[in-house]
Structure 1
Amino acid sequence: MKKIVFALLFVSSIMTAQDMDVVKGDFGFLKDQKEINVEFDYSKLTLLKEKLTEAQYVANRTKELNDKTKNTGDIWKKKWDSSKELIWNPKFLELMNVVFVKDSKDVNFQEGLATAKYTLIVEVLWIYPGWDAGIMKQPAKVTTQLKFVETSNKSNVVLEISSENAPGDQWGNNFSNETRIGEGFAKTAKSLAKLILKKAY
């Protein structure tokens, strides 16, 4: 029985493994930077295996919940609409900076740093919200394209990294799709920060 459980956990870890690859550029420009501006771009976001647009996903989910219990879909939509600013973006920024602080590196990733020489554009391409049914659960997955550009000339991409299927999960139960997705953003940031530490310093 223990072997079966271990095998299932091993397969699950493979299925949710994050894949982070350098598409172009190198990390040398980052070493002497004290601040990096960050922008989040959700314009290309799709969701679920069907690759629904965000508008399609929200409409379907809102209707599904409202059909079960009146008004719950509308309440959920408000939570979803606020998740980017209240959960996902802050989770990404928090974990980026925590990793650098722990390694005693003097660099800050933050939104609104217009004077920073470089900007990290986080293009959010795909999200799988996952699910939690108590005994069984499936972590969220977040796929992004991470582009470091010159702030004054954003068409100049100096480093581009592809991050696929960053898993979002927590110990215990988590019945909120939005917070599970937030953990996927945290995992993306943690992996990116560690890659920068390895390659730039």
Structure 2
Amino acid sequence: MKQLTTSLLAAFCLLSTSILAQHIDIDKKALSFLASEETLNIQIDFNGVVIDNNVSESDFLVKMHKKIVNHRDQAEADQWAKDYVEFKNEIWPATFIEVLNNKLKDYKNAPQFIENNTDANYLLKVKIPWMYYGYDAGIVNEPAKVTMLLEFSKSDAPNEPLFTTEISRAMGKYNKTDGDGEGVGPSLNRMRKAITTAAYKLAKALKRVVD
């Protein structure tokens, strides 16, 4: 019984840590303007991102290129690098914005976030400082995670934040049958799912302001 109690306590602590790590601080007063806006501009920035244990993006890409060439060939390494650019510049940002807007539709006074919307009165800057790709090692696997720094400002004063907050280590849902398995390079789709989780959590947090 003592061993069972200890195991349950450990599981509860782990769950509590996970929940707290993904809590998003929201200031209803500072963000009250959201309820009166139809659209906001949104910019997503990967500059300066570090991977896993503080590996720079450039070092990470060099490492992946060498790994894929050694295990497969130059053509596959080049294809992974091409896919990475597409995910980073197109698929990941589009996923975040689409999931965020789709969830916000459930709320009464929620605005729509539109990338590079220069007509909007307000701006949300989303900076990604940290990414962890997870892994698939056969019978053992771990989902991807991502951290985002969020900065709301007026469009005409983008360097004067009205409110800042963080999404810390949002974790994707692992599904090997849905493109999450490990190839030679880490799964870019696995990271898309972490970004999906982050967007959903942000929309849920903003409910306190716009519903």
Q: TM-score of the superposition, structure 1-length normalised? A: 0.86
Distance in 1 (CA, whole Å) between partners of 2:199 and 2:33 is 19
- SS at 2:159 equivalent: strand
Deviation for aligned residue 1:106: 5.0
1:103 aligns with 2:113: no
- Bigger strand share: 1
Q: CA RMSD in A?
A: 2.6
Q: Deviations over 1:136-170 (max 9, x none)?
A: 21111101101111111101111111111000224
- Contact 1:16/1:141 (<8 A) preserved: no
Q: 10-19 vs 27-36, which deviates more?
A: 10-19
Distance in 2 (CA, whole Å) between partners of 1:134 and 1:160 is 40
Among candidates 186, 189, 194, match of residue 179 of structure 1: 189
- SS at 1:31 equivalent: helix
- Contact 1:44/1:123 (<8 A) preserved: no
User: Residues 12, 70 of structure 1: CA spacing in aligned structure 2 closer, same or farther, 3 A cutoff?
Assistant: farther
Equivalent residues in 2 for 1:124-135 (5 A)? 124-135=128-139
Deviation for aligned residue 1:20: 2.3
Aligned residues, how many? 196
Identify unmatched segments of 5+ residues in structure 2.
none
User: Residues 170, 148 of structure 1: CA spacing in aligned structure 2 closer, same or farther, 3 A cutoff?
Assistant: same
User: Residues 56, 14 of structure 1: CA spacing in aligned structure 2 closer, same or farther, 3 A cutoff?
Assistant: farther
1:195 aligns with 2:211: no
Instruction: Using the aligned pairs only, state the percent identity.
Output: 23
Deviation for aligned residue 1:86: 3.0
Instruction: State which structure, 1 or 2, has the greater radius of gyration over its C-alpha atoms.
Output: 2
Match of 1:46 in 2: 50
Give the AA of the match of 1:182.
R
Identify unmatched segments of 5+ residues in structure 1.
none
